Amino acid sequence: PEGRNRINIRKNIDYSSLNDEIDRVLAADFSQIELYLELGRLVSGKPEKGAAVMAAEYITANYPDRTGFSPRNLRRMRGFYRIYEGHPEVFKQAMEVGWTQNIVILEADLDMEGRSWYLRAVRQFGWSKAELTGQIAANAHLQRANEESIPDGERDGLPEALPLRVERLLRFLGHAVAFWEKLCYNGPWQLHFPRQTGIIGEAYG
């Protein structure tokens, strides 16, 4: 049968050299992202489609205490290595970001410039997986790029990138808290209302 022939073909491939390299990498003192990169490089060096599956099976069988090495994740490691292999600067940025956020960026429909933007933004803003996913869905990198290309005096009324909007909201909330504190403790409120509303309007537009 066809399925049995496919199994036999896969079993006839000699993966002993790959397995030896996996042993070496797992024994080394790598960080998680460095380890995943090395495994991705090893799997990428094998032309067979089943290399990621075989590597996952070998790790599961010989290192039962190690987790995170499913066939799907090994394929992701291979993709991670291949996509940044020819882009050393972006590759360096990716090495400084957690694996979960790297996967979100890796699997998003982005060009290399967009990947670089989100890698920098993750480090700057400390975005979680959910926050990063939302930013990518909102095309935050395009909004920020458009805003940065417009002179300061011409930006009024234009949509802002989400981080900037959050920053303005926080400033607005700070002014609002100060306003209500003065309203409650300094009275009378009529004396403070025009000045404070002017501050709030200036902060939030």
pLDDT at 145: 63
pLDDT at 48: 84
pLDDT at 159: 42
Whose tokens are 């990169």? That residue is 37
pLDDT at 191: 43
| 29-51 mean pLDDT | 92
pLDDT at 200: 43
Q: How far apart are CA 13 and CA 58, in angstroms?
A: 14
pTM passes above 0.85: no
- Residues 140 and 162: beta-carbon distance below 8 Å: yes
Could you tell me which residue, 151 or 42, shows the higher pLDDT? 42
Tens digits of per-residue pLDDT, 176-194? 655 555 555 555 444 444 4
Tens digits of per-residue pLDDT, 67-107? 999 999 999 999 999 999 989 999 999 999 999 999 999 99
Q: How far apart are CA 175 and CA 12, in angstroms?
A: 71
Long-range contacts from 112-121, C-beta under 8 angstroms, 24+ separation: 112/87, 114/141, 115/83, 115/90, 116/89, 116/90, 117/141, 117/144, 117/145, 119/90, 119/93, 119/94, 120/93, 121/163
- Helix ranges (H only) for 45-153 are 51-62, 71-84, 88-94, 99-107, 112-125, 129-137, 140-148
pLDDT at 47: 84
End-to-end Cα, the chain, rounded Å: 70
